[in-house]
Structure 1
Amino acid sequence: MTTTNVTASEAHPTEREAAVLHELVEYQALREPNATAVVSIEGDTLTYGDLLSRARDLTTRLRAAGVGHEDRVAVTVPRSPTAIVAFLGVLGAGAAYVPIDPDFPLERQRFMVRDCRAAAVVAPRGPKPDFVDDGVPMLFVDTDSDIDSDAGDCPDADPLAELAAGPVRPDQAAYVIYTSGSTGVPKGVVVEHAAVVALVLDDERIAVRQGQSVAQYAPLAFDASTFEIWAALCRGGRVEILRGGPVAVEDLSAELAKRRPDWLFLTTGLFHVLADHAPHALEPVGTLITGGDVLSPQHVQTAAAVPGLRVLAAYGPTETTTFASLHAATSDATWDRVPIGTPLRGRTMYVLDEDLREVARGETGELFVGGAGVARGYLHRSALTAERFLPDPFAPGRAGRMYRTGDLARCREDGAFEFCGRSDRQVKIRGYRIEPGEIEAVLNARPEVAEAVVAVFGTAVGGKRLVGYAVPAGDARVTASTMRTWLRERLPAHMVPGTCLVLDRMPHDPNGKPDRNALTPPWSSRDRLGELPEYLAPHSETETLMADVWAEVLGLDRVGVDDNFYELGGDSILSVDTIQRLRLLGIECSAGAFFRHQTIAELAAVTGVGRNGAR
């Protein structure tokens, strides 16, 4: 790492154009070495000086292992100060970090390490992960952030390595984040330093001030973490790592009251639940940014009415570096749709027709995003990159590029944009972008399956749920349970349909293609779900109350006490809603207990009941 003498607001244009992430963080560390940079889940702190020292140590080890400019380094460390040290150390070596969620299935992790052609892997101390091939250098990290290399894979440090590497340029890759692929193969989005620097420095609406805190709540393999980490560290702020995993409204409320973050990002689904049940939980927050799916006007207005809270509705595909546009919400606004707002400074948004001509204001077309945040493209996918990243005919000198989002939008008379749907089958569920075709590809690859499709249906609480349908091949035995097992072996949890159904035959349209419109949602009746245990009615008053709440949240006619919440189609967001509804009835239930005890019979046996509840 080398020292830079520029900050976000002080940078001369030529210096600003040369800024890279780790040098901006280094400047803050040299300026205020004792300032807190990161706060762990447990409340332990890491100063800027310590962060820089540990990152430099990892940089030295990576260079000794042969890692250089434009290499990719897979980081499999869970959300922690150590993970941030790892990201910073990788950037200092001139490489790009590839965050890999340790909760992903083994096959998914193996694919990502191989597909990115990782020059090294940074992992928690322990046995060498099964998904790393022989010959790939391993660097292990302890929870105290000390860095050690695998002696068998990494040579001793070379003091000349840093000099030989040369400075890192803004057009070099900073990270690669994988998103769902419509062909069944995930694709890695390559984002350069310049794009992230533009995100965190250029737009005053999301300008973190020195000493302010930014909550780190998103999974590291989700691009919202880009803002959470670098918007804080590049500007002298503080990253507050919040507890993840199963969550309940009251737990999150307590965490926010304790941490009091100046900045918080929540995905649409979790935001809606919080606005429904506990909008007061947002009072300790300075600015709430929410997005990832269509926002409800009522929920946004509720949050905007919270005293002292500023609410920003955000839009942005991974390919445009986290946020492409923002809309400041007010409690007195009247919308049919919450606008996705206006572009960030240095970015452009166009609504175009099929011939890439601008449509009239107010008309619907496909949304294209140009300017500073556009990613380099898809790793090792030149044809797909050429298809989605196009020359920008509206840029000065036609020198820029624009990204074809696949989203339909229109520009309002006031210049703000509105999201109007998709031009393809891609969906957002719980903030994650999902291509149903990737899920279908896993099922259709099984020899036991003759044909499989995945459909998306809305829920009673305004979310979306996936359903997998399969027709067995010949006499093969296919069950909902085996379908879910196949999918869990290859896909992240957020891509596994909560419900799978086996059909005798697949409906087809006149062209012989699967007719998804003829597939009806299965949740109206419990009996349609299949493969559930024999229905056993609730016995106690507590079980009856639980069954009523589960049925309402899941959209079912009835729920038995031995039915598994997640096999009925439940997910993490629906569980948050369920827990809060139970608490309103006086039934106290922690998120951990709900996750461990997934049937009403099990949960009722361990659940505490408040004063207004009954056994």
Structure 2
Amino acid sequence: MTSLLPQPVRPDLRTTITQLVAHWVHVAPDAPAIRYGADEMRYGELSARADQLAALLAEHGVRPETAVAVVLPRGPELVVTMLAVLRAGGYYVPLDPAYPVERQRFILTDSHAALVVTDAAHADKLPADSPPVLRIDDQDSYDPADGVRTPPVDATPDGTAYLIYTSGSTGRPKGVVVDHASVTELVTAEPRIAVAPGDVVAQLAPTSFDASTFEIWGALCRGGTLVLFDTTVVGIAELAAQIRRWRPDWLFLTTGLFHLIVRYDPAALDSVGCLITGGDVLSPEYVAEATGRTRLYAAYGPTETTVFASLHAVTAPPGDRVPIGTPLAGMHWRVLDPQLRPVPDGEIGEIFLGGVGVARGYHGRPELTAEHFLPDPFSPEPGRRMYRTGDRGARRPDGALDFHGRLDRQVKIRGFRVELGEIEAVLRRHPDLADALSVAVSTSAEEKRIAAYAVPHPGRQVNTFALRAWLGERLPGYLMPATLVLLDDPPLDPNGKPDRSRLPAPWTARADLANLPDYCAPATDLQRLLCEVCAEVLELDQVGVDDDFFELGGDSLRSVWLLERLRSVGVEISAGEFFGGPTPRDLADLVGTRSARTPEAARWS
């Protein structure tokens, strides 16, 4: 078979992702590129498989600037496919297989994807009106019998590498266009996050989340080994076990997950060479606990600036605020007033980011792009733009930047960017609703939860369980409200506009939650314990023995907290067991009947 390997180049030159990977294929073909469980793929094999698939993609019409949607679960084939799309000159659009059909349909249509690459398990779950589908597990298609026929066309540094979608305030997600040069600058120019050949890089983030860009290409463009963590069902015990097994040199954790692992198993971080955390405001207490266990960076960066824009090296316990640091190489930030003039150090203004990491803009949204990507008067290079973040910040005396919240209603939930207006816009499309509001509520768990308030049309009966199911068909999991509250009328301010500050508290009393089953009290000590811990984690006054944890507003991160809280009182339940029956009765029956018990758990049976 004729090799399609791009010409290898020095890693310090402005180049493409594919050329950087090719460099390591050329110099170290037998080095491990990907590990997943017991499986290992070396750089030479990765390249050969990507070559085969790239040729097949080219035969299906993939050319430079062709969008290819990738709908695959975590695994080596996902990485092979992403590299193959780039080898064919196209760009990938990561699409989470768990997204509801309506969300998938929007992204496929908005991205103008010419092709969908998936597998047999997910092909039948795609929207009926999807673009042409290529199944990679169809071996006859994946490995052409007569070899490579149509050589792929390698991209240029200015060519698009990926298109990733974020929440949009109008109800329409925004596709962020990122080119090769932005990615290669991220992984090659910044010494603080320079992966060394042979380093182990943990891959934990979903590919629909831009942190995966650093994990995947930070490893493969630098000769590292990408270890795909198993995230099918993860609790702190499972995550900590994987950390101890793989001992990654590089690990990224969202703020919420970082807080939980420091709370319940901080010693696991002793096995990490460098930990990068960000996505929301960090707790100084937890940061102080992690200091000294690993090299620690607090990271900041919107999707529009290619993963990270700034880093803060935590070398000592912080004060009452953890700064978001100083810019990456090739990037700069400015704190400006409404007239786009720099504000003095210590004063709060809006954060603007400039440099090579700034994305091309929003796909198919020229007006929105012009609003957020402005000409950069601070750049020495003509034609450069700066990104208006909407974040408030202030420069510290040491040159680092402090984060001071948002200018709008955008929030971070479990590391994901959430436009509350998107949730409201989708709810308002429900035929039985006259209006909808949503807010992010800070909780005692150092995180935020989304509460949505629905106002039915007069005379319409709305069931919140049915409404949640309807919403789940249209929004990905990270945008789903933790609770839905029905209102007769929204509170208004003197100008007749919704006053979100006067909305009723969404949590505290179980009785205030609509459409729950009748309360059933626990009958045994174990049931009582489980109900009490669920109530503590959900921040409710009580939980019934037949109440579903997720129907009461639980989410994936809070479920991790619950399992660790139970473990601390001697009840061992795995994440998989919990998701299989998330009511106190189910969990009590599980603990009481399973044959393999810990000595502590046995006392509850």
User: What TM-score comes out, normalization by structure 2 length?
Assistant: 0.95
Against the structure 1 CA distance between its residues 513 and 121, is the aligned structure 2 distance closer, same or farther, given a 3 Å change threshold? same
Q: Which residue of 1 aligns with 2:51?
A: 56
Give distance in 1, aligned partners of 2:118 and 2:554: 32
Match of 2:87 among 85, 92, 111: 92
Q: Which residue of 1 aligns with 2:280?
A: 293
Q: Where in structure 2 are the equivalents of 1:202-281 lying within 5 Å?
A: 202-281=189-268
Contact map agreement 1:140 1:147 (CA 8 A) in 2 = no
Match of 2:346 among 337, 345, 362: 362
Give distance in 2, aligned partners of 1:334 and 1:32: 41
Q: Which residue of 2 aligns with 1:47?
A: 42
Cα deviation 1:291-313 (Å, max 9, x = unaligned): 0000001101111132xx11111
Q: Aligned AA for 1:595?
A: F
Give distance in 1, aligned partners of 2:332 and 2:507: 42
Q: Which residue of 1 aligns with 2:171?
A: 184
How far 1:130 moved relative to its partner? 5.2
Give distance in 2, aligned partners of 1:3 and 1:187: 32
Q: Which residue of 1 aligns with 2:134?
A: 139
Match of 1:501 among 485, 503, 506: 485
Give distance in 2, aligned partners of 1:150 and 1:29: 20
Q: Aligned AA for 1:317?
A: P
Instruction: Please say if 1:4 is aligned against 2:7.
Output: yes
Q: Aligned AA for 1:4?
A: Q
Match of 2:396 among 401, 412, 416: 412
Match of 1:611 among 595, 599, 605: 599
Larger displacement relative to structure 2 (274-283 or 518-527): 518-527
Match of 1:340 among 324, 344, 353: 324
Match of 1:67 among 62, 69, 81: 62
How far 1:434 moved relative to its partner? 0.5
How far 1:169 moved relative to its partner? 1.0
Contact map agreement 2:52 2:142 (CA 8 A) in 1 = no
Contact map agreement 1:411 1:417 (CA 8 A) in 2 = yes
Give distance in 2, aligned partners of 1:124 and 1:547: 41
Contact map agreement 2:5 2:51 (CA 8 A) in 1 = no
Against the structure 1 CA distance between its residues 26 and 132, is the aligned structure 2 distance closer, same or farther, given a 3 Å change threshold? farther
Question: 2:532 aligns to what SS in structure 1?
Answer: helix
Instruction: Please say if 1:322 is aligned against 2:307.
Output: yes
How far 1:111 moved relative to its partner? 1.0
Match of 2:467 among 476, 483, 493: 483
Task: Kindly tell me the number of residue pairs found equivalent between the two proteins.
Answer: 596
How far 1:6 moved relative to its partner? 2.7
Question: 1:587 aligns to what SS in structure 2?
Answer: coil
Q: Aligned AA for 1:606?
A: L
Give distance in 2, aligned partners of 1:592 and 1:72: 36
Instruction: Please say if 1:122 is aligned against 2:117.
Output: yes
Contact map agreement 1:28 1:48 (CA 8 A) in 2 = yes
Contact map agreement 2:52 2:143 (CA 8 A) in 1 = no
Match of 1:34 among 6, 30, 35: 30
Question: 2:543 aligns to what SS in structure 1?
Answer: coil
How far 1:245 moved relative to its partner? 3.0
Against the structure 1 CA distance between its residues 157 and 108, is the aligned structure 2 distance closer, same or farther, given a 3 Å change threshold? farther
Cα deviation 1:166-214 (Å, max 9, x = unaligned): x421011000000000000011100000000011000110000000110
Question: 1:466 aligns to what SS in structure 2?
Answer: strand
Question: 1:30 aligns to what SS in structure 2?
Answer: helix
Contact map agreement 2:71 2:122 (CA 8 A) in 1 = no
- Unaligned stretches of 5+ residues in structure 2: none
Give distance in 1, aligned partners of 2:381 and 2:222: 32
How far 1:533 moved relative to its partner? 1.4
Q: Where in structure 2 are the equivalents of 1:354-503 lying within 5 Å?
A: 354-503=338-487
Question: 1:183 aligns to what SS in structure 2?
Answer: coil
Against the structure 1 CA distance between its residues 518 and 127, is the aligned structure 2 distance closer, same or farther, given a 3 Å change threshold? closer
Give distance in 1, aligned partners of 2:504 and 2:122: 47
Give distance in 1, aligned partners of 2:177 and 2:140: 26
Question: 1:264 aligns to what SS in structure 2?
Answer: strand
Question: 1:490 aligns to what SS in structure 2?
Answer: coil
How far 1:34 moved relative to its partner? 1.0
Match of 2:103 among 101, 105, 108: 108
Cα deviation 1:95-152 (Å, max 9, x = unaligned): 110000000001111111111111111111357445356683322112xx9582699x
Give distance in 2, aligned partners of 1:602 and 1:476: 35
Cα deviation 1:17-53 (Å, max 9, x = unaligned): 2x1001110111121111110011x220111111000
Question: 2:444 aligns to what SS in structure 1?
Answer: coil
User: What TM-score comes out, normalization by structure 1 length?
Assistant: 0.94
Give distance in 1, aligned partners of 2:339 and 2:104: 39
Give distance in 2, aligned partners of 1:183 and 1:320: 22
- Unaligned stretches of 5+ residues in structure 1: none
Contact map agreement 1:184 1:437 (CA 8 A) in 2 = yes
Q: Which residue of 2 aligns with 1:303?
A: 290
Contact map agreement 1:190 1:376 (CA 8 A) in 2 = yes
Give distance in 1, aligned partners of 2:8 and 2:133: 34
Give distance in 1, aligned partners of 2:558 and 2:441: 14
Give distance in 1, aligned partners of 2:140 and 2:208: 22
Give distance in 1, aligned partners of 2:203 and 2:22: 20
Against the structure 1 CA distance between its residues 157 and 106, is the aligned structure 2 distance closer, same or farther, given a 3 Å change threshold? farther
How far 1:503 moved relative to its partner? 1.2
Against the structure 1 CA distance between its residues 596 and 430, is the aligned structure 2 distance closer, same or farther, given a 3 Å change threshold? same
Q: Aligned AA for 1:316?
A: G
Contact map agreement 1:58 1:147 (CA 8 A) in 2 = no
Instruction: Please say if 1:548 is aligned against 2:537.
Output: no
Give distance in 1, aligned partners of 2:5 and 2:343: 47
How far 1:246 moved relative to its partner? 2.6
How far 1:429 moved relative to its partner? 0.4
How far 1:397 moved relative to its partner? 4.8
Question: 2:579 aligns to what SS in structure 1?
Answer: helix
Question: 2:271 aligns to what SS in structure 1?
Answer: coil
Contact map agreement 1:63 1:157 (CA 8 A) in 2 = no
How far 1:7 moved relative to its partner? 3.4
Q: Which residue of 1 aligns with 2:188?
A: 201
Give distance in 1, aligned partners of 2:174 and 2:239: 32
Question: 2:488 aligns to what SS in structure 1?
Answer: coil
Contact map agreement 1:64 1:158 (CA 8 A) in 2 = no
Larger displacement relative to structure 2 (397-406 or 430-439): 397-406
Question: 2:473 aligns to what SS in structure 1?
Answer: helix
Q: Aligned AA for 2:599?
A: R
Q: Where in structure 2 are the equivalents of 1:156-167 lying within 5 Å?
A: 159=149, 161-162=151-152, 165=153, 167=154
Question: 1:588 aligns to what SS in structure 2?
Answer: coil
Give distance in 2, aligned partners of 1:574 and 1:239: 28
Which ranges of 4 or more aligned residues in structure 1 deviate by more than 6 Å?
Answer: 155-158
Against the structure 1 CA distance between its residues 457 and 99, is the aligned structure 2 distance closer, same or farther, given a 3 Å change threshold? same
Question: 1:427 aligns to what SS in structure 2?
Answer: strand
How far 1:370 moved relative to its partner? 0.3
